[in-house]
């Protein structure tokens, strides 16, 4: 990636400034990881695998084997963040679509086709610094801004296959794609009357590309227990400069990602979910440097779901959860950690013959990220709308 922007980032982080964007942690490595999870998974603190019932998740391709109707799911996610670094504090907000998906059952084969698009890495952040410079023997204040926009998403085509009543497997193949632009702007303010100085600006853009494959399985050994696991392989992620961008491209080695999850009925109306995820990031020549990596990345989470509440004969699941996750890229030499508490609710709109045909899930998370002098606290909402019908 362009060395000019790497030097500018170092200067901004080491001096007083304002900060903004989704997260300043997105300025390191490939950015801030964005998991393609729906609102139910978020509310339960889940790693996105092993939940009871059918689901349409890129992290659990086998879960779509239980979907009875063609289904469309859309998830949107607003977030409000307060970031503090040293004496600087800023409040930001934004909305993303972490996952969208479509599934179509093929009854003659006992499986379902799936198509999903989910987040992978986010690089939206901004730094702002105020200083002065000499112009014609006069000290003039100036404002410098370093802004990054964009990220990487993964599009997957998959197949979920039932193997008897208790076992299902799923596969997904896809490509990673996206773009990131970085812009440095220097603006002089309060210059002499009649003197107009055009802001100085430098902009670069890179295009990302790569391949990905996921294999997953779920097993229900007894009626009240589900066990599931997935493995995701990714090729090197290539970053190629767009036309007009100076500098060479880069290749980033992506790790094998493993996820394990389990759900069980504690009572007829109470479900517990537990899960963990692992990814072993490693450095790559011309890409990720060893000193920028936190090493093995673990995530643990779990929650409870109560399904005994009803409103006009429709079940209203209530959910709570918690999760703790390592983040892969160090900030100012420190390993970042994210912790959160979550809660949520589901509204099943229709249940013809006890088969879910439509619904809405909502989740609210209160989280905290820490990496040395940088502390971010956030509220994150997740809304999933599900439509399933012939």
CATH number of the domain where residue 177 is located: 2.40.160.60
Residues 6+ apart with CB under 8 A from 137: none
Per-residue tokens: 125: 């952040």
Q: What is the pLDDT of residue 249?
A: 81
Local confidence band at 179 (pLDDT 50, 70, 90 cut-offs): very high
Local confidence band at 230 (pLDDT 50, 70, 90 cut-offs): very high
Residues 232 and 245 sit within 8 Å (Cβ to Cβ): no
Euclidean distance between CA atoms 91 and 81, whole angstroms:
6
Domain span including residue 94: 3-388
CA angle 224, 228, 216 (to 5 degrees): 145
Burial of 226 (0-12, 13-18, 19+ CB in 10 A): buried
How far, rounded to the nearest angstrom, does the alpha carbon of residue 172 sit from its chain's CA centroid?
Answer: 18
Helix (H, G, I), strand (E, B) or coil at 43: helix
Local confidence band at 129 (pLDDT 50, 70, 90 cut-offs): confident
**Model pLDDT for residues 83-112, shown as the tens digit of each residue:** 888 777 888 888 889 999 999 999 889 899
Local confidence band at 153 (pLDDT 50, 70, 90 cut-offs): very high
pLDDT for residue 354 is more than 60: no
Average pLDDT of the segment spanning 315-327: 95
Strand 111-122, strand 138-163: pairing: antiparallel
From the CA atom positions of the chain, what is the Rg in Å? 23
190-198 LR contacts (CB < 8 Å, sep 24+): 190/140, 190/141, 191/135, 191/140, 192/136, 192/138, 197/135
Residues 204 and 182 sit within 8 Å (Cβ to Cβ): yes
**pLDDT, greater one: 356 or 47:** 47
- Which of 65-74, 152-161, 245-254 tops mean pLDDT? 152-161
What's the domain count of the chain?
1
Q: What is the pLDDT of residue 16?
A: 45
Average pLDDT of the segment spanning 117-145: 82
* Short-list 117, 108, 41, CA closest to 344: 41
Question: How many CA atoms lie less than 13 Å away from 82 in the CB half-sphere?
Answer: 7
β partners of residue 57: 60
Burial of 160 (0-12, 13-18, 19+ CB in 10 A): buried
Average pLDDT of the segment spanning 359-381: 94
Strand 167-188, strand 125-135: pairing: unpaired
Average pLDDT of the segment spanning 49-78: 91
Q: What is the pLDDT of residue 24?
A: 80
* Short-list 377, 380, 365, CA closest to 84: 377
137 backbone φψ class: left, alpha, beta (φ>0; ψ -120 to 50): left
Percent of the chain with pLDDT over 70: 88
Local confidence band at 48 (pLDDT 50, 70, 90 cut-offs): very high
> How much is the mean pLDDT over the chain?
86
How far, rounded to the nearest angstrom, does the alpha carbon of residue 69 sit from its chain's CA centroid?
Answer: 27
Percent of the chain with pLDDT over 90: 53
Residues 55 and 36 sit within 8 Å (Cβ to Cβ): no
């Amino acid at each position: 990636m362009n060395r000019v922007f790497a030097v500018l980032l170092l200067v901004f982080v080491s001096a007083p400034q304002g900060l903004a964007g989704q997260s300043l942690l997105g300025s390191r490595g490939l950015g801030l990881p964005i998991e393609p999870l729906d609102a139910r998974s978020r509310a339960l603190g889940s790693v996105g695998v092993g939940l009871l019932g059918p689901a349409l998740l890129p992290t659990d391709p086998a879960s779509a084997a239980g979907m009875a109707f063609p289904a469309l799911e859309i998830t949107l996610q607003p977030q409000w963040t307060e970031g503090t670094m040293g004496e600087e504090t800023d409040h930001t907000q934004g909305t993303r679509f972490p996952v969208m998906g479509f599934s179509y059952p093929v009854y003659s084969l006992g499986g379902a086709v799936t198509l999903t698009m989910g987040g992978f890495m986010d690089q939206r952040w901004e730094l702002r610094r105020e200083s002065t410079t000499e112009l014609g023997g006069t000290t003039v204040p100036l404002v410098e801004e370093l802004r990054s926009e964009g990220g990487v998403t993964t599009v997957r085509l998959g197949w979920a296959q039932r193997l008897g009543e208790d076992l299902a497997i799923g596969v997904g193949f896809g490509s990673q794609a996206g773009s990131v632009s970085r812009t440095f702007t220097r603006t002089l303010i309060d210059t002499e009357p009649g003197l107009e100085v055009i802001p100085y600006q430098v902009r670069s853009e890179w295009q990302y590309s790569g391949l990905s494959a996921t294999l997953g399985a779920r097993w229900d050994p007894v009626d009240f227990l589900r066990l599931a696991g997935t493995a995701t392989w990714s090729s090197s992620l290539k970053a190629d400069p767009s036309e007009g961008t100076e500098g060479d491209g880069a290749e980033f080695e992506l790790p094998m990602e493993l996820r394990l999850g389990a759900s069980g009925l504690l009572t007829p109306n109470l479900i517990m979910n537990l899960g963990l995820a692992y990814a072993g990031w490693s450095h790559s020549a011309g890409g990720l440097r060893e000193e920028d990596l936190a090493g093995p990345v673990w995530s643990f989470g779990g929650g409870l779901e109560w399904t005994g509440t009803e409103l006009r004969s429709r079940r209203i699941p209530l959910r709570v959860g918690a999760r703790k996750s390592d983040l892969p890229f160090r900030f100012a030499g420190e390993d970042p950690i994210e912790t959160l508490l979550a809660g949520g609710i589901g509204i099943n709109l229709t249940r013809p013959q006890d088969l879910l045909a439509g619904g809405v899930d909502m989740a609210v998370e209160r989280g905290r990220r820490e990496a040395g002098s940088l502390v971010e606290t956030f509220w994150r909402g997740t809304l999933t709308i599900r439509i399933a019908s012939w």
